[in-house]
Structure formats: structure tokens, C-alpha cells
Amino acid sequence: MDKKKTLELFSSFGFNSADFNNLAVRTKFKTRFNKLQGFDYLFALLSCCSNVLVSFNNLAAFLDTSNIASISKQALQKAMVKNGFLFFIIIIFKKILAKKLREDASPILFNNSLFKRVLIQDSTIIKLPKRLYPFFSGVSNGVGKTTNARVQYAFDIFNEEVKYFSIDSYSKNDLSQSQKLDIKNGDLVLRDRGYLSYAEIARLKSKGADFIYRYKFNIKCLNIETNKPLDILKLLKKHHKLDITVRLQDKNGPIVRIVSESINQEVANNRRAKLKKESSNKRPTKENLEMQSWSIYITSIPKEKMSYQNIFNIYKLRWRVEILFKAMKSSLNLDRIHNVSKIQLQIIIYAKIIFFVLTLQFIYLPASYKLKKQLNKELSLLKLIAYITADKMRAIEIIEELLKEEELIGPKLKSLAKYCSYEPRKRNNYHKCVEEIILS
């Protein structure tokens, strides 16, 4: 990576070299600037963050070979293990996330949508060094202990914006984190069953937001006229698919819509096998295993606004978050953190996400638009991240080409089209899903 050109990228987020120094002083991370400026620490971290080993020795070597400064690993460690440096990184991270990723119109925006935002919330578990067990916990049994952290992430697919991000203890499950997502009138929220609760549904409704959840087994459903309990499995067996309005919990509970359709036997069997594996302490009930033959969703969207088929199709957009996590884990080595302290861990993860967001902002979004318009090529985020982390100078070269006013596709973008586009296939990629689901 090139220091000068990377600093120019940060100017679009309102940062210049003096701003980084002022922020370093304000967070008490640095008070004097001799060999290294405030930005130098961030630049070294971003340049090395996709490596499996992000050590002070590697950071010092990078600064030396890049002709920035000759500094010992001990000096770097003394500066970068302070709480002040963590605050320095977090403030930069939050400012980057606060900026809309793309100001111009995107080919996959939802011009005629019923919703103002579509928020996809999900989480992933990352494996950590054992020394961090007291801070993040994990799983402990007679065999041993595993240390895990839970990364929460919410993404607005209208504007390609990250709306929420946190690194929490493994014990902070999805349900406990659901109410931290800021909800507004006109939102559509897509979540898995782990976020489902009566209280959260009531909160979404009170905010004027719609939602689609995966159905949670044993949730109490009542007939809206008689308030008598409904046997959802019995109804599924009788009708094979459902599109009904029910009341949840009790006579005062929220009214929702349940939609379902059957799935093929192979997928159903895979679901049952996964359920048994995840329920190692207690075997799932016969009824729960039987219900794996259907895809069932709980939504607030009425029938007259959206068919049950579109409900199923829209929920597939959660695939976007899965792709983001997969890209971070595979190409940014998010789940291969070496033996570090708690502060180092947080700094490394935030740096990886900053690198990821910069890639979205300056490469993926504008390149996707240009390649689609000029070559009718669909850019794969997974392939792109792997491509630029293999040689980070490629990132700067691609950005320079994208910033040119020319309509013609240059050699760097042609390489992206060749090596980072989706292969022709029957199953739709993410962009095709969006276009067919929302714009139809």
C-alpha cells in the first residue's frame, strides 16, 4: 500500500494528517510525534491486518521496509497496547461507519420499494486464543475450554451502509443484542430466529417498522378471533403451505402473519442433521424434527402488500451478511487471531473491519457499477477481497483507475472482470437476487 494515496482516501471521511495527530493527543495515545505520526500507526496496521500474524515485529518491519521509520517492536508495543490507541481506532472506525458508503445512485437501489431501509442483522462466532477466556468466555466441558467472541453486524442493503457493529462476549446472545439496533419508521428488518421475542416484535411495531423472522419452534400462536392455541405443525400437514394471521403469546400479544412452504427432502434432512448436532445436550423433539420439512417465517407485512413467495425471496437477502462474514473470515483471517491481549484483539478486529469498509467504499461499489454498466459483469465480493489481500498494491492501482473520469474500462478493471466476477451459473448471485426480488 502507498501511504500518501491511502491518506488521500481518508480525506473523503474528513481526515487529514493533522486530524490524526490531534486525535492521537485527544485520546492520550500520543503526546509527541518524533519518528511516527498518528496516521503512521493506522497505516501500518491496515497494511498488515489481513495477515494471519499481526505482530509488533511485523508492524515494525513493515514501517522500516516502507521507508517510513526505523522503530523497535518494543516501542510500537508500548504505544499500541494503551487504551488510548484502542479509543483512537474506535473513533476512526465509527466515523467511517457513519458515512454513507455510496453517494450516487446504485443499480441495485430500491426506487419503488415499500420500505425506506432494509436492515439485515446477524452475528458470527470467532475463535480466540485461550488466554482471553476470562474476557470472552466460550464453551467449557470435561474435555477443555474454547474461547469465542460474538461479532454483531447490521447492514442496510438499500445504501450499502453498516448500521451496527460490536464485539461481545460469547455469552451475549443474539436476543440480548436485538434491542441495540436503532429502528426507524419505514424499516424492514430481516433476522434469524435467535433475535425473535415478543418484546422485540412489539418494539418494531411501535417504531412503525416491518420485519421478517425465521419461525421459532414452540412459539405460542393463537387464533385471532377465539384466542385458542393453534397447532402449526398440524396445519402444515393438512394444508402443506400456510399464509395465516395469528396472535402471539396471549390475547394481548402482537398480531403477525405466518407464511410457509415445503422444501425438498434433501434440504429437510440436512436441517434435521444440523438440528441434532446443535442440540447435543437434549435431543430435539419429534415435532421439531418434522417441522424441518417447511420453511416458515413470521412477518408483519400484510398479504395485500406482499405475496408469500416474495416474503421467502426477500429473506434470502440475508445472504448478504453471510457473504460479508465469510469474506472477513476467509480473506481477512478474522477467525485466525494469534495469541494476543484483549486490547490487541479489539484493535486487530477493528482494523480488519476498517480495511473491509474501505474496500467496499472505494473498490467494490464503484467497480461493481462500472463493470455491470460497461461489461455486464457481476463482481464477487469474496473474490475481490481475496484478490486485493494477496497484493495490497492492487487496491491502490484499482482505485486510481476508478477515480479517472474516463468511461472506458482500464487494464486493472479488466483484471477484476476476469478474476473477480461471478461464473455463469443457474443459481442467482446476490445482485440478481436483489434485482429480481425488489425491483420486480
Q: What is the pLDDT of residues 358-381, one digit of tens each?
A: 888 788 888 988 898 889 998 888
The DSSP result for 233-294, as a single string, is HHHHHHHSSEEEEEEESSTTSPEEEEEEEE--HHHHHHHHHHHHHHTSSSPPPHHHHHGGGE
Asked whether residue 295 is assigned to any structural domain, the reply reads yes
pLDDT at residue 429 in the model:
56
The residues, any chain, with a CB within 8 Å of residue 5's CB and separated by 6 or more, are: 396, 399, 400
Asked whether residue 289 is assigned to any structural domain, the reply reads yes
The domain tally of the chain equals 2
pLDDT at residue 143 in the model:
61
Asked whether residue 420 is assigned to any structural domain, the reply reads no
Strands 221-223 and 210-214: unpaired
Please check whether residue 381 is in contact with residue 371, taking contact to mean a CB–CB distance below 8 angstroms. no
pLDDT at residue 144 in the model:
65
How far apart are alpha carbons 190 and 198 in whole angstroms?
Answer: 16
Counting Cβ atoms within 10 Å, is residue 284 exposed (0-12), middle (13-18) or buried (19+)? middle
Taking the CB of residue 35, how many other CB atoms lie within 10 A of it? 11
Asked whether residue 86 is assigned to any structural domain, the reply reads yes
Asked whether residue 63 is assigned to any structural domain, the reply reads yes
Binned average pLDDT, 10 residues per bin, the chain of 440 residues: 84 88 93 90 89 85 92 91 90 77 40 76 84 75 74 79 82 89 94 92 94 92 94 93 93 93 90 83 87 94 88 80 71 73 84 84 86 89 87 85 79 92 66 47
- Picking from 273, 299, 325, the residue at the C-terminal end of a domain is 299
- Lookup: cell for 113: 420499494
How far apart are alpha carbons 127 and 169 in whole angstroms?
Answer: 11
How far apart are alpha carbons 131 and 383 in whole angstroms?
Answer: 33
What amino acid occupies position 432?
Answer: K
- Picking from 99, 124, 154, the residue at the C-terminal end of a domain is 99
How far apart are alpha carbons 230 and 246 in whole angstroms?
Answer: 9
User: Which of helix, strand or coil describes residue 158?
Assistant: coil
How far apart are alpha carbons 115 and 210 in whole angstroms?
Answer: 8
Asked whether residue 276 is assigned to any structural domain, the reply reads yes
- pLDDT tens per residue, range 114-151: 788 889 998 888 888 787 888 777 666 656 678 888 88
Q: What is the largest CA-CA distance in the chain?
A: 77
Asked whether residue 246 is assigned to any structural domain, the reply reads yes
Asked whether residue 328 is assigned to any structural domain, the reply reads no
**C-alpha dist (Å) from residue 76 to 40, 121, 239, 347:** 11, 36, 66, 13
- C-alpha gyration radius of the chain: 24
Question: In which domain, by residue range, is 83 found?
Answer: 1-99
Q: How many DSSP H helices and E strands does the chain contain?
A: 20, 10
User: Which of helix, strand or coil describes residue 121?
Assistant: strand
Predicted TM-score (pTM) above 0.85:
no
pLDDT at residue 102 in the model:
45
- Picking from 257, 280, 299, the residue at the C-terminal end of a domain is 299
pLDDT at residue 100 in the model:
53
pLDDT at residue 167 in the model:
84
User: Which of helix, strand or coil describes residue 207?
Assistant: coil
Question: For the range 412-420, what are the long-range contacts, defined as Cβ-Cβ under 8 Å and sequence gap of 24 or more?
Answer: 413/367, 413/370, 413/371, 416/367, 416/371, 416/379, 416/384, 416/387, 417/371, 417/375, 417/377, 417/379, 419/383, 419/387, 420/379, 420/380, 420/383, 420/384, 420/387
pLDDT at residue 422 in the model:
85
pLDDT at residue 101 in the model:
47
Strands 145-156 and 138-140: antiparallel
